[in-house]
Amino acid sequence: MTTPSYIFLAGASRGVGREIAQCLTSQQYKVKALLRTDATRHELEAMGIAVVLGDAMNFEDVERAMLRDEPIDAVITTIGGLAKDSSRADYIGNKNLIDVAVKAKVKKFILVTSIGSGNSVVALSPQILEALQPVLIDKEKAEQHLIGSGLNYTIIRPGGLQSESATGNGVLTEDPRIAGMIHRADVAQLVCRCLNSDAANNKILSAVDANMLFGQPQFEKFNVD
């Protein structure tokens, strides 16, 4: 009898990561979540998620969490911090997850960053870029580390995030010039669709709500199915 495999999720305690946790469990995926503290443990366990305590900033914690008897099929990470934070997980935490995922031979790694990272720097105004620059630099370093890792990856860069219910209007595009807003629940739905999408393999995609774009740009939508 084979051991069931898991989706390993970092960032499930709040925000987009929590929405992804709900999306995955609603689709009957077996999910293992890495949590830094016990604060949301009971909520996630009530959803049927296996919780492992550890800090993504600590390589040994990530190894202990991921390199267990149960195989990990895919890793999804939404972890990061704010520009004002003295210590952020945007690069080091995600780098640790990527490096252990290589050891674990996972089939797919999905990294959620932000519009403004990498070549999508052209999508944001100088004022926003100045405010977010420290975070965006770290996010781009994480993206580049993933691209160079040899893993099968999808990088998703959401626009400005809102917490309302999903609109169903979330779209993906390879066009780095696109910016706009998107609800966290819609980002989660797009992430879940990319999980088993061959079309999304080794792609960098911006995520926005089709009805909440900045300006009226014409762009080609990415078909994830």
**52 CB-near residues (< 8 Å, 6+ apart):** 32, 33, 34, 35, 64, 65
47-55's contacts with Cβ under 8 Å and 24+ in sequence apart are: 47/21, 47/22, 49/9, 49/12, 49/21, 49/25, 50/6, 55/93
* Ramachandran sector of residue 172 (left: φ over 0; alpha: ψ -120 to 50; beta: rest): beta
Query: What are residue 182's DSSP bridge partners?
Result: 161
Residue type, 9: L
* Annotation marks residue 114 as catalytic: yes
- Are 21 and 9 in contact, with CB atoms under 8 Å apart? yes
- Are 101 and 151 in contact, with CB atoms under 8 Å apart? yes
Check 86, 87, 114, 120 and give the catalytic one: 114
Q: Which residues are known to be catalytic?
A: 114
